[in-house]
Structure formats: structure tokens, C-alpha cells
Amino acid sequence: MTVTTASKMNKNGIIVLMNRAFKGTPDYNEVSDFKCSDDTSIYLETDTDIEENQIPLQNIETVDDCETADWTESTDAEGETLNSSSYKEGTNSLNLGKDGTSSTTASYSKTTSSLNGTSKDLCLWVYVATLSDLATSNSITIRFGSDSSNYYQKAYDNADLTAGWNFFKIAITGGFDSTTGSPSISALDYSYIAFETTDTGDTITLGDLRMDYWHLVSSGDYFKALETGYPLISEEDLQVTIRGKLTTTEGNGHNISKVGFVNDDATRKLITGSNFDSYSKTNDDILIFEQIIRVRNSI
């Protein structure tokens, strides 16, 4: 699928264009990469970025793909099963639930792939069918660390969640609420998620909670290089064509609604961008973002 939209070069783009045209040694690099967001606001010529909620695109490290039901559940948690009809990446998610009544907590843990979390974000998808199934505070708790005694922890309240799929992105340095013990950031291989109910007698139907695709993302993973051969410059037509492509393995699970084209300066500059009707990216899709910039002399 090719996403065609009305594009706009913003003020930064015009500054870069003038700088590279009229300075013997330009201060800025040319457009080289693109990035995407699920932000639905209108792209404006005054924008200097494509706002928050930027989507990881490539070079992502898998913590656990949730394609195998092999997590360890707590006493009150129901054994997980595969869900092949509702997932965000791959071909399955994991159905979770609470069938015990001895505590308010149902948790799942696993020794996952050992990865270096330095300067990275932990990302995962969690589905909640009915928010009222969960307690008001500390509804979902996520731990990531070296083992069950050494981990980083972050809790989400009910007000932080939406009914349906939630995408969690936590900066490993600075994004967690607390640290227990001394987790080794260069060797993180312990993953844990817990769901909290209001009363011990509360149960949650298996599948009304789900999770999918635990992964690590570096800052550079939110950018991808333009397609080979682009920018394509037509001197006769006074126009430039730029193109970015997402393959079947990139950006899956996200509702993509905005694209921005940037350079690779130390502080990247957004040159041009656009917004469009939100598109739910799956592993069946290839998306191509193409923009044509035309230069016109009004004199």
C-alpha cells in the first residue's frame, strides 16, 4: 500500500533548503530518514517534530515474542494460552486471567532473552477487556531485571489504561518507578507482569487480559533510511520525490497516522511531513510513504 498525502515543508525545511543552496559549507545535512507516529493531530508548517507516540520501526530486540505459552503463573493466575485471532506481532498473543481467590494479584514471570538495556526503552502490548476488572491503583505492574530479587518496576493505575490494547514504552534508565536490589542493566533477562483486582474473590476470565511482544528499542530504532535512489530530483520539473518504506516486519500493531522526513544531524531536523487517516499496520502490510516537493517561483 502506498500512502499518498498532501505534504508540507515546514519552516525548518525551508531554512535547510536555503542554507544548503547559498552557503559554501552548509550547516545541515540533507534529508536521509523518516519516522512515524500514531499522533492524529494535523501536521502544521510550524511543526518541528511529529509530536510524541513515535513508533519503533527497525533493529528491535525481542525480549519475548509471546508465541509460546511458557510463562510461570502465580497461584491465582490462570495458565496462559495462545490467542491466534487477537495479537499485535507475529501470529499469536497470550491469553491471561485470574481464577484464584486467595489474593488480589495474578502474575506471570519468565526468564527471557538476556539483553543490554543501556539507553533503551522496554516496550510491550497489554490488552484489558474491561477496566473495572482491575483495581483503581497499581492495576498493572511490570518488572524487568536480572532475577526476581533484582529488577526495575513500574505500576500503571486504572486511569492510565484504555479498554483494548495498550502500548507501554518505559525508558529503562529513568522510566521505572523504583528499583529493587541491583539489576545488571547489561544483562536483563527477567520479565514479570502482574494484574491487581479490588478484592481477593475477584476473578478475570481467561483472555480478557492478553499480552504480546516484549521488546527493547534504542533511540535510533525510531528512524529508518529512505528507499535506495531517493531523494529523486527532477530538475526539469523542479521537484524532489522522497520515499520511505515499512516492510511486513516493521511498525506492526500500531495505528500509523503521521510521517516525518528528517536529516541525520546530531540534532535531527524535521524537513517535511504529513498526516493521514490512521492505518492499522499488520505483518501482512507493506507501507510506502512518498512525498513530492515542488519548487515554484511566484515572480
pLDDT of residue 6: 55
Same domain, 177 and 156: yes
Q: Is residue 250 assigned to a domain? A: yes
Comparing C-alpha atoms, which of 173, 174, 170 is closest to residue 193?
A: 170
pTM above 0.85, yes or no: yes
Say how many CA atoms lie within 13 Å of 177 toward its Cβ: 10
- Cell 505500576 found at: 155
How many other CB atoms are found less than 10 A from the CB of residue 144?
Answer: 26
Work out how many domains the chain is built from and give that number.
2
- Asked whether 260 and 283 are in contact (CB, 8 A), the reply is no
Is 198 inside a domain boundary? yes
CA–CA dist 13, 48 (Å, integer): 9
Are 52 and 115 found together in one domain?
Answer: no
Enclosing H/E stretch for 14: helix 11-22
Q: Are residues 144 and 200 in the same domain?
A: yes
Q: Do 195 and 263 lie in a common domain?
A: no
Res. 53 pLDDT band, cuts 50 70 90: confident
**Is pLDDT above 80 for 256?**
yes
233 alpha carbon, distance to own chain's centre: 32
How does the average pLDDT of the chain come out, rounded? 93
CATH number at residue 155: 2.60.120.260
φ and ψ at residue 160, rounded to 5 degrees: -80, -10
User: Per-residue b/e over 74-106, b at no fewer than 16 CB within 10 Å?
Assistant: bebbbebeebeeebbbbebbbbbbbebeeebbb
pLDDT digits (tens, 9 = 90+) for 112-158: 999 999 999 999 999 999 999 999 999 999 999 999 999 999 999 99
Task: Please indicate, yes or no, whether residues 84 and 210 belong to a single structural domain of this protein.
Answer: yes
Note whether 34 and 262 are within 8 A (CB): yes
Which of 172, 203, 218 is the endpoint of a domain?
A: 218
What share of residues in the chain are helix, strand, coil (percent, to 5)?
Answer: 5, 45, 45
The edge-to-edge listing of strands for the beta sheet with 239-246 is: 2-4, 287-294, 239-246, 232-234
In a domain? residue 299: no
pLDDT of 41: 85
- The pLDDT value recorded for residue 43 is 83
Helix, strand or coil, per DSSP, at residue 16: helix
- Structural domain harbouring 83: 61-218
Q: Does the pLDDT at position 297 exceed 70?
A: no
Domain boundary among 218, 246, 268: 218
Percent residues over pLDDT 90 in the chain: 79
Give the SS3 label for residue 124.
Answer: strand
Q: Which of 218, 246, 270 is the last residue of a domain?
A: 218
Give every CB contact of residue 245 below 8 A, 6+ residues apart in sequence: 224, 227, 286, 287, 288, 289
Q: Do residues 253 and 43 make contact, with C-beta atoms less than 8 angstroms apart?
A: no
Residue with cell 479490588: 198
**Is the pLDDT assigned to residue 14 strictly greater than 90?**
no
Q: Which of 37, 63, 26, 14 is nearest to 265 (CA)?
A: 26
Using CA atoms, how far residue 83 sits from 69, 160, 195, 232, in Å, is 10, 25, 19, 44
